[in-house]
Structure 1
Amino acid sequence: MEHFPAVCCFGGEPFLDFHTNSTIDPTDWSADLVEDPTNSVDLNVGISNLTKSFAKIGINVISQCQIFNVTFNDLADQTLFDTYKARFLCRCPIGFSGQSCEIHPIAPTLPPISLPLVSKNPLYSPTDPMVMLIVVAAVVLSLMAVLAMVSDFEDI
């Protein structure tokens, strides 16, 4: 079976993109971290172009990225990968984007703003305290009436 290199920078992790709604179980393939990419001839051929293109934007693939050796567990899953022309992309950490998480935002991102716990609707007027008093009194009177009926029923 073939080996596929996946390069993810700044803490990104590989995932399989099928370009469709089809999914493949993540246990059907494995992405092993390559500890020393200079010793892997198969992967060096696949990442040499990435190394050159990343160098143009100031990223050193060896020090800032992780290289994964992706393999499938069986030939059927690899055939599915080839049939759909799928590819391995990276799930990027917050603040990074791109196929390999290589793109930094140029402007600093602001932290999220916390929302108030209570929103105030300008069209909503607060309830009148007198109305609330009448509602509470009606509830108490109805409970007293129910209790009185239960006690009368027990007497029979």
Structure 2
Amino acid sequence: MASSDDDWPSYWWWRDGPVSPGDCVIVDIDGVLADAAHRQHHLDGPWRDWDSFFADVGDDDVLDEVAELLVLLAPELVVVALTSRPTWVSDATLTWLVKHKLRWDLLIMRPMGDFRPSPMFKGEQTEALAELGYLPRLAIDDDMRNVRMYRDLDLPTLYIDSGYHPH
């Protein structure tokens, strides 16, 4: 299944081992590939229960339209699943990706102890990818904060309105 080794950050997982650098597409998971609607109630109210929200990731349905879009992308494109999910749900996330036969080459998750806003984390990872020769050509995200960050990096971005994030 997935692999992570000493040459890569511990929060990066390759599906079948590292692939050669080249053009890539960055795709978010929650609200883009995964339907997290059944978990949203954990974030209602004044106290957001992020632990419970993430504990249920294995029960998500697939959002078929984006899954199909990934299938239709040119085969030479590297598909990077870049998510703000914490690494403590990496096993559940990897199992979910494989179970649903989704296209992905690299999974990047938020390392433990990283509580920065999503755009800071994802922006840093996007720049790290580019520095390693994985040149982002498109990003797909449901959080307008991330969309604005990607567009500030001059990266074309497809916005998916999951209904989870205020505009």
Fold shared per TM-score above 0.5: no
The bucket for the TM-score relative to the shorter chain is under 0.3
Whose RCO is larger (CA < 8 A, sep 6+)? 1
Structure 2 length normalisation: TM-score?
A: 0.23
Asked which structure has the greater CA Rg, the reply is 1
